[in-house]
């Protein structure tokens, strides 16, 4: 057995505090594994354990985090926010010590889908331009867009400071004046800059899909959920 296999180490990896705090949780009789109260923080963590209860609360046993959120407006995608609160404050507090990060960011005033994980390979999968994952946005322009503007976007636009021409994968006018656009690149402020290139301004913006992960209509802003086996299967990601 190594130090990584102890109960103290497992509690630490699960984000339940510093190593000293985790030792004290055990010594203060706050930890039960499969219904048995634990007294020795240096005892091996049972590899087949099914239930961990800490201070009366059931704690999921996985050390890798995979989750999605419907980000509300008024939150920064940063662990060290400036003026506005951090989206990480909307996630479980214990995740704050588990190096959870979002795959890409959304502006303070942009709402919609964020993906979180502490698995660097998983994050890279969504951030890497080589993966060419589509990102779908719904846009409410300040004024209804014209056929000319739609045509210019479909033909491709130039963005200052960027090489090449940027075209949407798909672009459609929805019934309620919203516009849905799918892009591949994910450049800084890309959607707003693409609309600005055809002299249109964005009043509201929300991301509704990344690859095969779609933000459902019943997913309320400010809420989150962990990815399901069906999500991983749709992504083709072995978990």
State the catalytic residue, choosing from 107, 109, 175, 231. Answer: 107
Q: Select the more confidently predicted residue: 237 or 183.
A: 183
- Confidence band of 3 (pLDDT split at 50, 70, 90): low
Dist. CA 237–CA 232, nearest whole Å: 5
Q: What is the mean pLDDT of the chain?
A: 91
Q: How far apart are alpha carbons 110 and 4 in whole angstroms?
A: 41
| Residue 107 a catalytic site member | yes
Which domains, and CATH codes, for the chain? 3-58 (3.10.290.10), 66-129+214-235 (3.30.70.580), 134-210 (3.30.70.1560)
pLDDT per residue as tens digits for the range 126-177: 877 777 789 999 999 999 999 999 999 999 999 998 999 999 999 999 987 8
Global confidence as pTM:
0.83
Binning the chain into helix, strand and coil, the percentages to the nearest 5 are 25, 25, 50
Given a contact cutoff of 8 angstroms between Cβ atoms, the answer to whether 104 and 131 are in contact is: no
């Amino acid at each position: 057995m190594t130090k990584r296999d102890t109960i103290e180490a497992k509690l630490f990896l699960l984000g339940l505090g510093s190593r000293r705090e985790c030792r004290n949780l055990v010594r203060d009789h706050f930890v039960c594994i499969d219904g048995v109260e634990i007294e020795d923080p240096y005892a091996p963590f049972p590899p087949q354990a099914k239930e961990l209860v800490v201070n009366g609360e059931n704690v999921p046993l996985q050390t890798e985090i995979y989750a999605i959120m419907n980000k509300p407006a008024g939150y920064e995608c940063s662990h060290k926010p400036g003026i506005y609160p951090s989206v990480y404050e909307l996630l479980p507090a214990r995740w704050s010590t588990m190096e959870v990060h979002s795959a890409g960011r959304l502006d303070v005033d942009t709402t919609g889908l964020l993906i979180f994980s502490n698995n660097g390979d998983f994050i890279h999968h969504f951030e890497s331009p080589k993966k060419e994952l589509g990102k779908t946005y719904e846009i409410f322009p300040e004024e209804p867009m014209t056929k000319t503007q739609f045509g210019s976007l479909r033909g491709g636009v130039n963005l200052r400071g960027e090489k090449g021409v940027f075209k949407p994968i798909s672009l459609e006018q929805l019934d309620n004046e919203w516009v849905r656009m799918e892009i591949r690149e994910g450049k800084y402020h890309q959607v707003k800059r693409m609309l600005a290139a055809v002299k249109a301004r964005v009043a509201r913006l929300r991301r509704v899909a990344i690859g095969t992960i779609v933000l459902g209509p019943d997913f309320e802003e400010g809420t989150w959920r962990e990815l399901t086996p069906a999500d991983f299967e749709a992504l083709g990601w072995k978990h």
